[in-house]
Amino acid sequence: MVMRSFIAIDINDRAIVDSIKKLQSDLESLNINLKMINPENIHITLQFLGDLINSEINILKRILSSVTFESFSCTLLKLGTFPNMNKISVIWIGIDSESSGKLLSLYDDIDKKIIDLNFQIKRNFFSPHVTIARLKDDKNKEKLQNYINENKGMNIGSQIIDNFKLKSSLLTSGGPIYEDISVYNVDLK
Protein backbone atom coordinates (compact mmCIF):
# COMPACT_ATOMS: atom_id res chain seq x y z
CA MET A 1 0.00 0.00 0.00
CA VAL A 2 1.23 3.51 -0.87
CA MET A 3 0.83 6.41 1.58
CA ARG A 4 1.38 10.11 0.88
CA SER A 5 3.55 10.99 3.88
CA PHE A 6 5.21 13.88 5.66
CA ILE A 7 6.89 14.75 8.96
CA ALA A 8 5.34 17.61 10.92
CA ILE A 9 4.72 19.35 14.20
CA ASP A 10 1.04 19.92 14.91
CA ILE A 11 -0.10 23.34 16.10
CA ASN A 12 -2.69 22.30 18.66
CA ASP A 13 -2.57 24.90 21.43
CA ARG A 14 -6.25 25.90 21.80
CA ALA A 15 -5.54 29.65 22.13
CA ILE A 16 -3.37 29.61 18.99
CA VAL A 17 -5.94 27.62 17.01
CA ASP A 18 -8.64 30.08 18.10
CA SER A 19 -6.45 33.03 17.04
CA ILE A 20 -5.86 31.41 13.65
CA LYS A 21 -9.62 30.88 13.23
CA LYS A 22 -10.16 34.59 13.97
CA LEU A 23 -7.44 35.56 11.51
CA GLN A 24 -8.97 33.32 8.83
CA SER A 25 -12.39 34.86 9.51
CA ASP A 26 -10.88 38.32 9.02
CA LEU A 27 -9.31 37.19 5.73
CA GLU A 28 -12.61 35.71 4.54
CA SER A 29 -14.36 39.03 5.23
CA LEU A 30 -12.15 40.63 2.55
CA ASN A 31 -14.15 38.74 -0.12
CA ILE A 32 -11.03 37.32 -1.75
CA ASN A 33 -10.99 33.90 -3.37
CA LEU A 34 -9.05 32.04 -0.66
CA LYS A 35 -8.91 28.37 0.32
CA MET A 36 -8.56 28.29 4.10
CA ILE A 37 -6.59 25.52 5.78
CA ASN A 38 -8.69 23.68 8.35
CA PRO A 39 -7.41 25.07 11.69
CA GLU A 40 -7.35 21.51 13.08
CA ASN A 41 -4.83 20.63 10.31
CA ILE A 42 -2.41 23.51 10.96
CA HIS A 43 1.16 22.26 11.31
CA ILE A 44 4.82 23.01 10.64
CA THR A 45 6.03 20.70 7.88
CA LEU A 46 9.53 19.43 8.62
CA GLN A 47 9.79 17.20 5.55
CA PHE A 48 7.40 16.22 2.78
CA LEU A 49 8.15 12.61 1.85
CA GLY A 50 5.68 11.93 -0.95
CA ASP A 51 4.30 8.48 -1.70
CA LEU A 52 5.91 5.74 0.39
CA ILE A 53 5.22 2.03 0.58
CA ASN A 54 4.76 0.16 3.87
CA SER A 55 8.32 -1.14 4.00
CA GLU A 56 9.68 2.42 3.61
CA ILE A 57 7.29 3.66 6.32
CA ASN A 58 8.53 0.94 8.67
CA ILE A 59 12.17 1.86 8.04
CA LEU A 60 11.37 5.54 8.61
CA LYS A 61 9.55 4.79 11.86
CA ARG A 62 12.63 3.02 13.18
CA ILE A 63 15.05 5.73 12.06
CA LEU A 64 12.90 8.62 13.33
CA SER A 65 12.72 7.00 16.77
CA SER A 66 16.47 7.70 17.09
CA VAL A 67 16.02 11.48 16.68
CA THR A 68 16.47 13.30 19.99
CA PHE A 69 15.65 16.89 20.86
CA GLU A 70 14.65 18.99 23.84
CA SER A 71 11.25 20.64 24.14
CA PHE A 72 11.07 24.35 23.45
CA SER A 73 8.57 27.18 23.24
CA CYS A 74 7.69 28.23 19.70
CA THR A 75 6.10 31.62 19.02
CA LEU A 76 3.96 32.12 15.94
CA LEU A 77 4.25 35.65 14.65
CA LYS A 78 4.37 37.70 11.45
CA LEU A 79 2.00 37.32 8.55
CA GLY A 80 3.61 36.66 5.19
CA THR A 81 3.22 35.17 1.73
CA PHE A 82 4.90 32.78 -0.66
CA PRO A 83 6.47 33.27 -3.07
CA ASN A 84 6.23 37.06 -2.45
CA MET A 85 3.74 39.91 -1.97
CA ASN A 86 3.42 40.57 -5.72
CA LYS A 87 2.66 36.96 -6.64
CA ILE A 88 0.78 35.52 -3.67
CA SER A 89 -0.08 31.83 -3.62
CA VAL A 90 0.26 30.99 0.10
CA ILE A 91 -0.50 33.02 3.23
CA TRP A 92 1.50 31.94 6.26
CA ILE A 93 2.33 32.74 9.85
CA GLY A 94 6.02 32.81 10.66
CA ILE A 95 8.02 31.48 13.60
CA ASP A 96 10.25 33.51 15.94
CA SER A 97 13.98 33.38 15.15
CA GLU A 98 15.06 31.37 18.22
CA SER A 99 12.44 28.69 17.55
CA SER A 100 13.27 28.74 13.83
CA GLY A 101 16.86 27.86 14.75
CA LYS A 102 15.70 24.93 16.88
CA LEU A 103 13.32 23.76 14.14
CA LEU A 104 16.13 24.00 11.60
CA SER A 105 18.33 21.86 13.85
CA LEU A 106 15.55 19.27 14.17
CA TYR A 107 14.98 19.40 10.39
CA ASP A 108 18.72 18.87 9.77
CA ASP A 109 18.83 15.86 12.11
CA ILE A 110 15.83 14.28 10.40
CA ASP A 111 17.09 15.13 6.91
CA LYS A 112 20.51 13.55 7.57
CA LYS A 113 18.86 10.32 8.67
CA ILE A 114 16.65 10.31 5.55
CA ILE A 115 19.66 10.99 3.31
CA ASP A 116 21.49 8.07 4.96
CA LEU A 117 18.57 5.85 3.92
CA ASN A 118 18.97 6.94 0.27
CA PHE A 119 15.28 7.87 0.09
CA GLN A 120 14.48 9.61 -3.18
CA ILE A 121 12.55 12.64 -1.98
CA LYS A 122 12.46 16.21 -3.20
CA ARG A 123 14.39 18.49 -0.87
CA ASN A 124 13.30 22.09 -0.56
CA PHE A 125 14.74 25.03 1.33
CA PHE A 126 13.34 24.76 4.87
CA SER A 127 11.52 27.91 5.98
CA PRO A 128 9.62 27.34 9.27
CA HIS A 129 6.03 28.56 8.94
CA VAL A 130 2.41 27.45 9.16
CA THR A 131 0.23 27.79 6.07
CA ILE A 132 -3.20 29.23 6.88
CA ALA A 133 -4.64 29.89 3.40
CA ARG A 134 -4.02 29.64 -0.34
CA LEU A 135 -4.97 32.30 -2.86
CA LYS A 136 -7.04 30.88 -5.73
CA ASP A 137 -6.85 33.92 -8.05
CA ASP A 138 -5.54 37.50 -8.16
CA LYS A 139 -8.95 39.20 -8.02
CA ASN A 140 -8.90 41.85 -5.25
CA LYS A 141 -5.28 40.97 -4.46
CA GLU A 142 -4.66 44.58 -3.37
CA LYS A 143 -7.10 44.12 -0.45
CA LEU A 144 -5.10 41.12 0.68
CA GLN A 145 -1.76 42.93 0.28
CA ASN A 146 -3.08 45.85 2.36
CA TYR A 147 -4.41 43.52 5.08
CA ILE A 148 -1.09 41.67 5.29
CA ASN A 149 0.92 44.92 5.40
CA GLU A 150 -1.32 46.26 8.16
CA ASN A 151 -1.08 43.03 10.20
CA LYS A 152 2.35 41.63 9.34
CA GLY A 153 3.70 42.24 12.86
CA MET A 154 1.01 40.23 14.65
CA ASN A 155 1.87 37.77 17.42
CA ILE A 156 -0.43 34.73 17.41
CA GLY A 157 0.94 33.05 20.54
CA SER A 158 3.36 30.40 21.81
CA GLN A 159 3.20 26.63 22.03
CA ILE A 160 5.53 24.11 23.62
CA ILE A 161 7.04 21.83 20.99
CA ASP A 162 7.60 18.43 22.58
CA ASN A 163 7.01 16.02 19.69
CA PHE A 164 6.95 15.61 15.95
CA LYS A 165 4.92 13.16 13.89
CA LEU A 166 5.15 10.97 10.85
CA LYS A 167 1.79 11.59 9.17
CA SER A 168 -0.18 10.38 6.19
CA SER A 169 -2.25 12.61 3.95
CA LEU A 170 -5.28 11.46 2.01
CA LEU A 171 -6.30 14.06 -0.57
CA THR A 172 -10.07 14.46 -0.92
CA SER A 173 -12.34 16.97 -2.65
CA GLY A 174 -13.13 18.42 0.80
CA GLY A 175 -9.45 18.90 1.61
CA PRO A 176 -6.71 16.66 2.95
CA ILE A 177 -7.31 14.20 5.77
CA TYR A 178 -4.26 13.77 7.98
CA GLU A 179 -3.59 10.78 10.17
CA ASP A 180 -0.74 10.18 12.61
CA ILE A 181 1.39 7.18 11.72
CA SER A 182 3.88 7.63 14.58
CA VAL A 183 4.57 10.20 17.29
CA TYR A 184 8.13 10.99 18.46
CA ASN A 185 8.34 12.70 21.84
CA VAL A 186 11.23 14.65 23.34
CA ASP A 187 14.06 12.72 24.88
CA LEU A 188 13.36 12.61 28.63
CA LYS A 189 16.70 11.08 29.64
Q: What amino acid positions are annotated as catalytic residues?
A: 43, 129
CA separation (Å) from 25 to 13, 22, 49, 67, 188?
Answer: 18, 5, 31, 37, 39
Asked if 177 contacts 40 with a C-beta cutoff of 8 angstroms, the reply is no
> Rounded CA gap, 117 and 132, in Å?
32
Q: How far is residue 75's CA from residue 175's CA, in Å, rounded to a whole number?
A: 27
**Amino acid found at 158:** S
| Distance, CA of 27 to CA of 7 (rounded, Å) | 28
Beta-carbon contacts of residue 18 (< 8 Å; ≥ 6 apart): none
